[in-house]
Amino acid sequence: MSSREEIISQMSKREITKQLVISQLFLFSLAILISGVFLDFSSHWVNQWGFDYRKALLYGLAPAAFIIGIDFLLMKTLPEKYFDDGGINKKVFENQSVFMVVLMSAMVAISEEVLFRGVLQPILGYVGASLLFAFVHIRYVKKPVLFISVVYISFLLGFIYEQTQVLTYVILAHFLVDVTMGFIARSES
């Protein structure tokens, strides 16, 4: 067991939830700070939101279903050890209420997409923001299947943003993936 896995195994549900909240608030704050320095703050954020049911299906639900389908296919065909993230996802979601799984998934989707698509993609470009998103998920770098998965998810989410220039659909897709995987992790505990 690695030192990270040992630390996680010793943390309480409350401590893990607290760390998740702190990390997501940090990412969101970083997004606001960077956008204030490098982007036209008010006009940039006003133009980031919109909603159309057809686009929500095409750019939110369909990509999420595709990602989840690929993940299920990989989980059914590859050994379980390829998906071991050190127990973080299981520990985050085990014994959480339905409300908390939804809330945590929404928090992660919003903070990560606001930073990576809403702020960094306009500054660094599609490839730069997508690669940075993948490498920020550092715990996956030594797990080839997980890392390849996060890279393709990152590029897909970046592509959605490129097509729509709206955060709503990217957040929706990210949320649907996270909440589905959260409920799976919760049910396995």
How large is the average pLDDT for residues 69-93? 87
The predicted-structure confidence for 124-144, as pLDDT tens digits, reads as follows: 999 999 999 999 988 788 889
Which pLDDT band, with edges at 50, 70 and 90, does 81 fall under? confident
Give the pLDDT of residue 4: 65
Give the pLDDT of residue 17: 86
- Write down the mean pLDDT value for the chain: 92
Q: What Cα–Cα distance (Å) separates residue 43 from each residue in 64, 122, 167?
A: 29, 13, 14
H/E stretch holding 108:
helix 98-113
Statement: residue 183 has pLDDT above 60: yes
Residue-wise burial string across 88-116, b where 16 or more C-beta atoms lie within 10 A, e elsewhere: bbbbbbeebeeebbbebbbbbbbbbbbbb
Which pLDDT band, with edges at 50, 70 and 90, does 63 fall under? very high
Phi first, then psi: give them for residue 116, nearest 5 degrees: -75, -40
Residue-wise burial string across 151-186, b where 16 or more C-beta atoms lie within 10 A, e elsewhere: bebbbbbbebbeebebbbbbbbbbbbbbbbbbbbbb
Which pLDDT band, with edges at 50, 70 and 90, does 1 fall under? low
How large is the average pLDDT for residues 166-186? 96
Give the pLDDT of residue 91: 81
DSSP state of 87: S
CA gap 170, 110 in Å, rounded: 9
Provide, rounded to the nearest whole percent, the portion of the chain with pLDDT above 70.
Answer: 97
Confidence (pTM): 0.93
Give the dihedral of Cα atoms 179, 181, 184, 185; nearest 10 deg: -100
Residues 6+ apart with CB under 8 A from 163: 59
The predicted-structure confidence for 29-46, as pLDDT tens digits, reads as follows: 999 999 999 998 888 888
Q: Which long-range contacts (CB under 8 A, 24 or more apart) does 5-10 make?
A: 5/86, 5/87, 8/86, 8/87, 8/88, 8/91, 9/87, 9/91
On whether the CB atoms of residues 17 and 100 are closer than 8 A, the answer is yes
DSSP state of 12: -
Higher pLDDT, 109 or 15: 109
How large is the average pLDDT for residues 155-167? 97
